[in-house]
Every structure is written in C-alpha cells, then in structure tokens.
A and B are shown apart, each in its own frame.
Chain A
Amino acid sequence: MATSVAIPREDQNPFASVVRFVPGVLLLAAIGFAGKVLEQSINGYAKAHHLVIPNIEYVLWAIAIGLLIANTVTIPKIFIPGIATYEFWLKAGIVLLGARFVVGDVLKLGGISIALVVLEISGSLFLMTMLGRLFNLKPKLTSLLAVGSAVCGVSAIIAAKGAIDADDEDSSFAIAAILALGAIALVTFPLIGHALHLSDNAYGLWSGLAVDNTAEATAAGALYSDVAGKVAVLAKTTRNATIGFVVLGYAIYWASHGQAEKVKNKGAFLWEKFPKFVLGFLVISLLVSVHAFNKEQVGALANLSRWAFLLTFAGVGLRTNFREMSKQGVRPFIVGALGEVLIASLTLGLVVAANAIWKL
C-alpha cells in the first residue's frame, strides 16, 4: 500500500539503511510465529480434550492476524519499511525451496507446468483484453490487468508500467484489483479444491496457474497442504519466468502505436525483466540432486524456506488494506473479477485434463 515514508538520502550509511527494516521484520516474525503457536495450541487443546475440529494452518492465522491489524489500526510508520520486505523473503524462500525438488521433479512437474502456462497465458491475455474492451476500460489499464492476471500479479504490472509508459493511476487500479482478487482467492481456492477432492499436486498446479500474485499463490497452495504449497510455487515460478516475453510483447505493441519508447536491445530487456530467483531455485535444486547436501542439510534448507514464507504470509495480511483498495473504483475490480473467474475455470479445466493424462 502506498505510504508516505521518506526515501533515505544517498549519503545515508548502510547500517542505518538496514536498521530501519528491523522493526517491521520483527513485526512480520511476531505475527508469523503467533500464527504457528495458535495452530499448535489449538491442535494440542483439541487432542487433549478429544475434540474433532478442523485444522487451521499457521498460514491462515498469520494472514488473518495481519489483515486484522492492517484493517483496524494505523500501522506506525516505523514498521512500514520492514513490512515491505515480505517480497524479499518470498524470493529467498523460493530459492531455498529448490532443496525440496530434485531435478527429476522439476523436469516432470515443470514440463507439465510449461505446457499449461502457455495455454493459461494465451487464454488470460485474450479474456482480459476482451473484457477490458467490453467494459470500456482505458487500453493501457486493460494491458496492465491482462499482464497482471496472465503472468505474475504486481511484479508484472510494475514491469509493464515502465515498458508501456502507463499512468500511475492505471497501475494503481490494476494493482488494487489484483491484490483484492488475490485475497479472495485465498479463501475460495482451498474450499473449491476440497469440494472437488483435488489431489495435492493437482490443486498446487491450479493455484500456481490461476492465482496472480506469487505471495498469494504460495499461500493459497500452503493453505491446502505442504505438498500443494511447493507444487504451487513451482507452477507459479514457471509463470514468472515468462514475464520478460509478455512485457516485451506489450512494449513492442505500444511502441508500434507511438505510445511507448522503442525497445532497443531486446536481449538486454528480457534479461532485465527475467526473475533471477528462478535461476537461484534451479541451482539449489541441482545441488540437492547431485547430493551436495546431506539429508539433514536438505531438511535445514527446507525449514529455512518455511521461515522465509512465514514472514511473507504475515506481510500478505499486513499489506492488504481493503479501505485503500476500495478507493480505486469498482470497474477495474469487476473486469478483474470476471476475468479471474474465467481464468480460474479455464485453468481448473486444464489441470483436470492434465490429471487425467499424466496422473498428477
């Protein structure tokens, strides 16, 4: 969410630069840890008293506590820089998650993901463009919504905004719509997955294909099961890897209409937009596959990844402020919501078909 925190001066020393993140990171850790303690305490109480109650994962508690704080009190400015680091923890967590995939898994699930991602991106871009035209949205806002829903949410919108020279207002609309829809997906996706008795792999693949923002896709997967969480990250990472190509396509399109700068070096453009954490994930996965780490070390890396995601989930809740989102207007949200329902249905169909063919 937009906040008014002064940008540090160029001459600020590195120590002060790091220290300003500490309060917010501690808040993320406290909320995440509270979520973990709540899950364990409730389960322990239910077990001790022979009660049968549904297990509510720490992921949901961490997000719910964050949401409650963000939407009931004004978060002091001292916490804001640290809270905004949730994306850094997400990316570090994804790299470390590579420890839980041997290369064979990546090739099998990643191969299926690539095939489905191509279909998902083509379908999403087409659907969002048609809906944008139908609802008479500004063309560049439609482009941003299309990129955000097809590839990777907020990161894709920010990358595309610069490349197609879109307004700040348009990107704020698109980001608000994508974030609001991500929050809705956190609640609806696990319910639908359970209702359809989807396997962990099938559900994880669906979340990674259909939920736009990487943090929400990771959380939506983890809410279903640990395995679903890691498959969701793999599918989402495959989607993220295409960001450069999609944004480049839009940049060329708008430049050909004289409404954006021409891309001079396409190779450099693709490398600049490519999410480097995808490579980090593959390197760790490769190292684990060649037994560079023993079993205990792989366990330690997997747990480090879980701690990084814990901070991320707390951040997802804390940065979701419904009051701020509602200020952005309803039309982009309706277009986004309609598009997301169609994309979720399309990807669910793809996953069910893939499940029938490859027995996920």
Chain B
Amino acid sequence: MSEENKIATEATRLGLSLDVWAVITAFVLALLVRIGVLKHVPW
C-alpha cells in the first residue's frame, strides 16, 4: 500500500475522506482571511 493510500485510508478512518479534509482546511483558511486574522499573505 503506498503512503498516499495510507494517508487517504487514515483520513477516512477519522470519519471524513482526504478530499473533505482538504475542503475543510481551505474553508477555515478562507474564514480566517474573511474575519481578518490572515490580513496579508505574501507571495
């Protein structure tokens, strides 16, 4: 089993798929930007 698969399996074991965890993370970051906690993200 590849490490990528192991991580996907482990994410699922926590009740949600890796996809959903990625979406939640992105939404949390978007919320932090929206409420002003993350004001400036340099590139």
Contacts and interface: CB of A to CB of B under 8 A. Distances in A.
A144 interface: no
A93 B27 CA distance: 11
Interface string B1-42: 111111111100100011111110111011001100011111
A322 interface: no
Contacts of B13: 10
A209 interface: no
Interface string A283-297: 110010000110011
Contacts of A287: 30
A293 B33 contact: yes
B2 A87 contact: no
A88 B33 contact: no
- In terms of DSSP, what is the predominant structure of the interface of chain B? helix
B7 A96 contact: no
Contact of A91 (B6, B23, B33): B23
Interface of A: 1-3, 5, 7-8, 10, 17, 80-81, 83-85, 87-93, 95-96, 99, 154, 158, 275-277, 279-280, 283-284, 287, 292-293, 296-297, 299-301, 303-304, 306-307, 319
Interface of B: 1-10, 13, 17-23, 25-27, 29-30, 33-34, 38-43
Given A87-B4, A303-B43, A304-B41, 12 more contacts: A8-B10, A10-B13, A83-B3, A87-B7, A95-B27, A96-B29, A276-B20, A284-B30, A293-B34, A297-B33, A297-B34, A301-B29
